[in-house]
Amino acid sequence: MTLFEKIAVREIPATIIAEGEDWIAFRDIQPQAPVHFLVVPKRCIPRINEANSADTPLLGTLLSAATATARQEGLDENGYRIVINNGPDGGESVPHLHVHVLGGRHMQWPPG
């Protein structure tokens, strides 16, 4: 099981802020912004590059969950950033697809 699967089944503690049937949202343990949370599918897809057409509904659900949770966290007025890392050069640190949502400050462009 991946770290995120263990969080989803409550084997590892996390600050869970929202949850649906197929996904879970929790605060990042190394936040890069005043508000930084992850939205993770409960079923492991190692990375976005390995998602297939059968995963399309879940991918849409993840983005909908990210925006709904951002709204819940008060980020909708000033904006926020959604990031999905893919592979080592993309900054992926856990081999389980996850959506980063960052907000609460002005984001720079280009990102790191």
Order of strands, sheet of 35-41, starting from the edge strand that comes earlier in the sequence: 16-19, 23-27, 35-41, 99-103, 80-83
Which residues, including other chains, have CB under 8 Å from residue 75's CB and lie 6 or more apart?
A: 35, 101, 103, 104
Q: d(Cα 8, Cα 104) in Å, to the nearest integer?
A: 26
Q: d(Cα 19, Cα 66) in Å, to the nearest integer?
A: 11
What are the catalytic residues?
98
